[in-house]
Amino acid sequence: MPAPGVCLNIVSERNLKDGQGSPNNPEKFLDQDFHQLKQFCLKGRLRFVDNLFLPEMKSIGLGPLKRGDLRRVVWKRPHELVPNPVYIVQGASRFDFIQGRLGNCWFLASVGALTFQKPIMKQVINDEQSFSVDYAGIFHFKFWRFGSWLDVVIDDKLPTIDGRLVFVQSKTPNEFWPALLEKAYAKVCGSYADMDAGSISEALMDFTGGPHMTIKLSDASGKLWETMRRAGQSESLMGCGTPGGNNVLPSGLVEMHAYTVTGVAEVVCKGRPVKLVRIFNPWGHGEWNRDWSDRSPLWKLVRPEDQKYKVVLDNGEFWMSMEDFCRNFSDLDICCSDVNVLTGSHSSSWKTEVHRGQWVLGTTAGGCSDDIDSFSRNPQFHVTLKEPVEDPRDESSPNLLVSLIQKSHKRNRHLATNFHIGFNIYELKDQREKFPASFFRNARLVGKNESYINTREIMEFFRFKAGEYLIVPSTYKPNEAASFLLTVYSKTEAIIK
């Protein structure tokens, strides 16, 4: 058995759907019960003030605002800003909001993707909240964090300067769902400043809790288009990012910026098919101005039935060819509810098991396999893969997905250190409870992640035959303490202990 405190629990696919921490039964973030707090406020005719995320400078943090501006901030409720505040005006859309004075394009690009998937968005933002019916100045949102769904409570006091919202704001002045959603996520991160700079994959995962894949577009295979097409037709969120510095390029693209992928389409231009990708800039303006942009002359050459894709609006959304997409963007992130979207396989379902564990200083934080004696102290997970029953068309597609997520012990996002993490998978030929260093010196390594990366999550697909395997998650260096979440998706029954 693993050392005490290493394997904290094992969560089956059934418990993920029904148990504590599921979408229907989320954990209470910081032990705040939304319904109890709201009823208390309604009974006492009070307006909720969140004593765990107070309307003060600490909740904004240092960075997004100069000290002089920080002193000018006044926290106001929506009804103090407009006479008739509304939570959502005529449905939530990616065109509702404009980024404010915070470098959180990665978060807002994810919100743009979220608006395309109404069932997922309803789960996150709870569209039945209101400023009129049973209003008590309290709202709540759900995010997936480290294997569990959390219900996050906030008050509706928002930071303003001169009567205008400081951070994200709606194009419709009396609509407030984007600002409240951003505040709830800032609370989870520790402050608004803790949302400054990040990876779009982080928020995509926090909105879905589903399997996630990052594709380096410079190394993209010929299967990329089909993967994106499947994602566009399923409950998936897609985002992408540009490389470089902080400049706006002559092409209209912004360097080191996160964008939403909002669609893919194939048009016929002068008798030849052209694959297009539709992109959204979370700034709400600023677009690609080359081939297939809003005013590109190429739109005059497509079939009449393809003219529907052309929209000439300065709303931050634009089309570009698949080739230009891969040339100008560095990576694509896809987060979905169905592993088949990522693999392209025809199997109807995958089994899921989630394991929470820890790398503990002095005991189980063993580091990578460069030092076998130390490495052997890492947590070890024995996996039994049964013989799969597969669609014959899937004989060469992956049948196993391993995801490893790390969680810092720090409360604030910017104080959290991402260690370089990875995992090795070994083939087993005997049944032991714990494998010593001597085993790893001669064991057959059959799989691992591509490299150790200082990121929140790594994942890899594999195709393994039925048999016994050992998964060893680790940090690159020994004695780096953190919690981790090991998730195994398999096409067949996988018994893990």
**Assigned token pair, 394:** 């899937």
Pairing between β-strand 494-496 and β-strand 381-385 as defined by DSSP bridges: antiparallel
Confirm if 402 and 423 have CB atoms less than 8 A apart: yes
DSSP helix/strand/coil, 261: strand
- Of the listed 7, 104, 189, 281, which one is catalytic? 281
CA separation (Å) from 381 to 7, 354, 432, 447, 450?
Answer: 9, 11, 11, 14, 19
Residue count of the chain: 497
Of residues 349, 383, 393, 403, the one with CA closest to residue 465: 383
- Of the listed 7, 41, 104, 105, which one is catalytic? 105
- Of the listed 140, 257, 355, 420, which one is catalytic? 257
Taking residue 5's Cβ as centre, other Cβ atoms within 10 Å add up to 12
d(CA 376, CA 478): 11
Strand partners, 379: none
d(CA 190, CA 171): 27
Please indicate whether residue 189 is annotated as part of the active site.
no
Our CA angle for 216, 218, 220, nearest 5°, is: 65
Please indicate whether residue 281 is annotated as part of the active site.
yes
Could you tell me the strand order of the sheet in which 317-321 lies? 212-216, 331-336, 236-241, 258-269, 272-280, 317-321
Taking only Cα atoms into account, the Rg of the chain, rounded to an integer number of angstroms, comes to 24
Instruction: Catalogue the active-site residues.
Output: 105, 257, 281
